[in-house]
Chain A
């Protein structure tokens, strides 16, 4: 069965091979092996890019295959990041507090330790008490479960309400946009219990690996991200390959017809929406330890819109297209906005790419949508199959 799945979907094998090769090459050339052709910060950028590719394939499944233009998947990504960030921050602060209390003649009580950790984490928002949502922050496994459960449950409840009322098309997009905006605004509050606009920081320091160099840690995360992307790609390729893919594409193309065939369309949408939300959460949980910081700005509506732009430019309805779009556009974006692109002096006006990159991105989005609806990934179709 598994064999025939691969043989029917040769692109999956090609993708996994390319991903493996990429990871090995980056590893060999990284600072961790002493070659140092790829700097540690660039390894982090690449690792983060792999996470963005993972959420992009999730977006492609929900939008490109199922036709649900969700403009809220970065909310699930952010929730995944916050969930793992809570443990990272708690465990690291606990370590620091225990170290500083170690020399005391009278051992500190559990309450004193807890207060000290609370002070360290929440002092910045003028509090020292642990909010209820931090109840499991000391337990890595429970927080890892949260990475999956919280986005999954939110998507399940939100999707159930939206799909049951048969909200579709642009109205659903607006609703998802409202969801991510509401979540972002809520997290900006100091009372949200997640340090308001400060967000969670110091996430690049992994508790238990204080002695490991950032070069090694970044490499470990690169591998973890590549593994997650590979597994996610395989999983989604499997989901959309068989009859499920048929039904899901049918829902995209003609929802009413699928309903009259006897399929409960809402359950299918809910299923796709929820599994993609879970994968987005996992992608976020891998992304933010590499970014080092997460704050509510990350969940701002614009992030989810970028995600849709990546997938559109890369090519909807083909998983590798989403990967290409996310990798290409996000790397290009950091090059332009990070000062990599030289400013263009027109004499009367200087084009600064930090300002003009968004215009360029917008233009390419419009161009791709109008003239190349299949995106960059569509080029592969021309290479593989001769245009008829």
Chain B
């Protein structure tokens, strides 16, 4: 099966510390995947590499049917290729309304001139409303994003991701700081999105990962330690050692 994203033998060193060590990991065009691992396992660095924020020392990052390399592309080019990223801390534009936040993310020409001449169209408005409905923000479209609750900000950011219409969503700790009901709703949104695109969730919380009910990749010290169903990886002795060993250290 052809892969949407192939990360092959990637290594990143920060001041002698190997954050990512010969990491190889693949994603199919439509799948839900959870990446877990203890602190410092390289989860966030992995996202930084794929989105172009960090340049690896060696290795390959191959994208899409045309097998293009993402290395050497800028963050905005990679985003336009169809990779969207949600940050750990909800980063929405707090001074602006929910509608403005979504409109900014909506898949449309991104050049300054196109944006300057941009006019509101009914089709764009319909897309914004559909996404707001999906993320439960339909009643909050005119509110300032800064007024939203923590959970709503997380959804707004997921909504902004969906508005970009990416083929790969990288989602960093979507459930952090959420109540149980909010988590359930977040799980639903992500599962629905994964029907048509690849969704990669980086998560600490095992309960949340269990709810996602998907293939799990365990990272440890910058490379893949185990891969498979959650039950499969949690019964793996090295995974237990890594987690428990850390916990008791």
Chain A residues with CB under 8 Å of chain B are 1, 239, 242-244, 246-247, 249-250, 253-254, 256-265, 267-268, 271
Is the Cβ of A261 less than 8 Å from the Cβ of B160? yes
CB distance from B120 to the nearest CB of A (A): 8
Closest partner residue, chain B, to A252 (CB atom): B95
A143 and B112 alpha carbons, distance in the complex (Å): 29
Is the Cβ of A262 less than 8 Å from the Cβ of B76? yes
Interface centre among B53, B80, B85, B93 (most CB of A within 10 A): B93
28 inter-chain pairs at a CB distance below 8 angstroms, sorted by A residue, are: A239-B116, A243-B115, A243-B118, A246-B96, A246-B100, A246-B103, A250-B96, A250-B104, A253-B93, A253-B94, A253-B95, A256-B53, A256-B75, A257-B93, A259-B74, A259-B79, A260-B51, A260-B76, A260-B84, A261-B105, A261-B160, A261-B164, A262-B76, A262-B80, A264-B110, A265-B76, A267-B111, A271-B116
- Given A246-B100, A249-B96, answer yes or no on A260-B79 (Cβ-Cβ < 8 Å): yes
A271 and B85 alpha carbons, distance in the complex (Å): 26
Is the Cβ of B118 less than 8 Å from the Cβ of A257? no
B195 at the interface (CB under 8 A from A): no
Residues of A within 8 A of B53 (CB): 256
B91 at the interface (CB under 8 A from A): yes
CB distance from A203 to the nearest CB of B (A): 35
Closest partner residue, chain B, to A264 (CB atom): B76
Mark contacts of B49-93 with chain A using CB atoms, 8 A cut-off: 1 yes-contact digit, 0 otherwise.
001010000000000000000000011100110001101000101
Is the Cβ of B103 less than 8 Å from the Cβ of A243? yes
B119 at the interface (CB under 8 A from A): yes
Residues of B within 8 A of A256 (CB): 53, 75
CB distance from A65 to the nearest CB of B (A): 11
Closest partner residue, chain A, to B96 (CB atom): A246
CB distance from B172 to the nearest CB of A (A): 11
Closest partner residue, chain B, to A317 (CB atom): B95
Is the Cβ of B75 less than 8 Å from the Cβ of A260? yes
A253 and B85 alpha carbons, distance in the complex (Å): 18
Is the Cβ of A262 less than 8 Å from the Cβ of B79? yes
Is the Cβ of B112 less than 8 Å from the Cβ of A250? no
The number of A-B residue pairs with CB atoms under 8 Å apart is 70
Residues of A within 8 A of B93 (CB): 246, 249-250, 253-254, 257
Residues of B within 8 A of A264 (CB): 74, 76, 110-111
Closest partner residue, chain A, to B80 (CB atom): A262
CB distance from B195 to the nearest CB of A (A): 23
A244 and B116 alpha carbons, distance in the complex (Å): 5
Closest partner residue, chain B, to A262 (CB atom): B79
Is the Cβ of A261 less than 8 Å from the Cβ of B115? no
A247 and B115 alpha carbons, distance in the complex (Å): 9
A259 and B91 alpha carbons, distance in the complex (Å): 12
Closest partner residue, chain A, to B86 (CB atom): A260
Top 10 closest pairs, chain A to chain B, by CB:
A262-B79, A259-B75, A243-B118, A271-B112, A262-B80, A264-B76, A244-B116, A257-B91, A246-B100, A250-B93
Contact of A247 among B94, B104, B160 (CB under 8 A): B104
A156 and B111 alpha carbons, distance in the complex (Å): 17
Residues of A within 8 A of B95 (CB): 249, 253
Contact of B119 among A1, A258, A261, A263 (CB under 8 A): A1
CB distance from B75 to the nearest CB of A (A): 4
A239 and B85 alpha carbons, distance in the complex (Å): 28
Closest partner residue, chain B, to A243 (CB atom): B118
A227 and B115 alpha carbons, distance in the complex (Å): 27
A249 and B100 alpha carbons, distance in the complex (Å): 11
Is the Cβ of A263 less than 8 Å from the Cβ of B94? no
A1 and B120 alpha carbons, distance in the complex (Å): 10
CB distance from A243 to the nearest CB of B (A): 4
Closest partner residue, chain A, to B114 (CB atom): A243
Residues of A within 8 A of B76 (CB): 259-260, 262-265
A262 and B110 alpha carbons, distance in the complex (Å): 7
- Which residues of B95-125 have CB atoms within 8 Å of chain A's CB atoms? 95-96, 100, 103-105, 110-112, 115-116, 118-119
CB distance from A38 to the nearest CB of B (A): 40
Residues of B within 8 A of A263 (CB): 76, 110, 115
Residues of B within 8 A of A250 (CB): 93, 96, 104
Contact of B104 among A239, A261, A265 (CB under 8 A): A261
A236 and B111 alpha carbons, distance in the complex (Å): 18
A311 and B157 alpha carbons, distance in the complex (Å): 33
Closest partner residue, chain A, to B51 (CB atom): A260
Residues of A within 8 A of B87 (CB): 257
Contact of B164 among A243, A253, A262 (CB under 8 A): A262
A249 and B144 alpha carbons, distance in the complex (Å): 14
Residues of A within 8 A of B91 (CB): 254, 257
Closest partner residue, chain B, to A265 (CB atom): B76
Is the Cβ of A260 less than 8 Å from the Cβ of B118? no
CB distance from A234 to the nearest CB of B (A): 15
Residues of A within 8 A of B164 (CB): 261-262
A330 and B75 alpha carbons, distance in the complex (Å): 43
Residues of A within 8 A of B84 (CB): 260
CB distance from B128 to the nearest CB of A (A): 12
